[in-house]
C-alpha cells in the first residue's frame, strides 16, 4: 500500500473551539463571582476662589442677553480646601471682595468636551456658569462664568493649560478666579 498510515486519534482532547468556549465561559463566571470592587475616588482635587476687584471695566452691556452656558454634567465629589484658604484671606485684606470659594474632586473629561461642574452645584452665590477640567495631551482648566454684582454682569470665559500644584489666575478687568489643581 502506498497511502499514508492513518494518524492515531488522540482521545480526551477537546477541539480548539471547544477549549476557547470553555475558557470564555470560565472568565465570565469568574467576573460575575468576584465581589464588587469599591469605587476609587477621583484623581484630582480642584479649588477655586472667585473675587471682584471693585472696578466696573468689562461689564456686559445693559441690554446684552445673558450668555447660555450649558454642560452641568459632571458630578463633583466634595473635598476640603487645602491650598487657597490663605489666598482668600489675603484677597480680602487687600480690599478685594471674595464672592465664593469651592473645592471638589473629579477626573478630567475628554479634551474639548466642555463638560463641567455648574457654579450652582459648587455653591457660589451670585455666580452662574461652569468650571470644566479636561485632559488632552495636557491638563486644561476652563471657567465660563457670569458674576452679578451691583446690578452689573461680568463674564469670564477662559481656558488654560494647568500644571498640578500651581496656582493659576484667570483674569478679567473686574473679576478674577484663582485656581489650583492637585493630583491625588
Q: pLDDT confidence of 45, banded at 50, 70, 90?
A: very high
pTM of the model: 0.74
Neighbour tally for 97: CB within 10 Å: 13
Tracing cell 470592587 back to the chain, one arrives at 37
Q: pLDDT confidence of 88, banded at 50, 70, 90?
A: confident
Listed in sequence order, the residues at least 6 apart from 6 whose beta carbon sits closer than 8 Å to its beta carbon are none
Q: pLDDT confidence of 34, banded at 50, 70, 90?
A: very low
Residue 47 CB burial class (10 angstroms; 0-12, 13-18, ≥19): buried
| Mean of the per-residue pLDDT values of the chain | 82
Region 146-151: what's the mean pLDDT?
89
Q: Are 134 and 20 in contact (CB under 8 A)?
A: no
Q: Are 116 and 69 in contact (CB under 8 A)?
A: no
Residue, of 56 and 183, whose pLDDT is higher? 183
What pLDDT is recorded for position 32? 47
Amino acid at each position: 500500500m502506498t497511502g499514508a498510515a492513518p494518524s492515531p486519534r488522540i482521545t480526551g482532547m477537546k477541539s480548539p473551539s471547544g477549549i476557547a468556549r470553555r475558557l470564555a465561559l470560565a472568565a465570565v463566571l469568574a467576573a460575575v463571582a468576584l465581589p464588587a470592587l469599591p469605587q476609587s475616588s477621583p484623581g484630582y482635587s480642584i479649588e477655586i476662589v472667585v473675587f471682584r476687584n471693585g472696578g466696573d471695566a468689562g461689564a456686559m452691556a445693559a441690554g446684552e442677553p445673558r450668555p447660555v452656558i450649558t454642560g452641568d454634567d459632571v458630578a463633583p465629589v466634595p473635598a476640603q480646601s487645602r491650598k487657597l484658604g490663605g489666598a482668600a484671606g489675603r484677597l480680602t485684606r487687600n480690599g478685594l471682595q471674595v464672592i465664593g470659594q469651592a473645592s471638589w474632586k473629579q477626573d478630567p473629561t475628554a479634551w474639548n468636551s466642555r463638560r463641567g461642574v455648574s457654579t450652582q452645584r459648587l455653591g457660589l452665590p451670585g455666580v452662574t456658569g461652569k468650571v470644566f477640567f479636561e485632559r488632552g495631551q495636557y491638563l486644561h482648566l476652563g471657567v465660563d462664568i457670569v458674576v452679578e454684582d451691583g446690578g452689573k454682569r461680568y463674564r469670564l470665559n477662559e481656558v488654560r493649560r494647568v500644571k498640578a500644584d500651581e496656582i493659576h489666575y484667570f483674569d478679567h478687568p473686574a473679576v478674577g478666579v484663582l485656581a489650583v489643581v492637585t493630583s491625588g
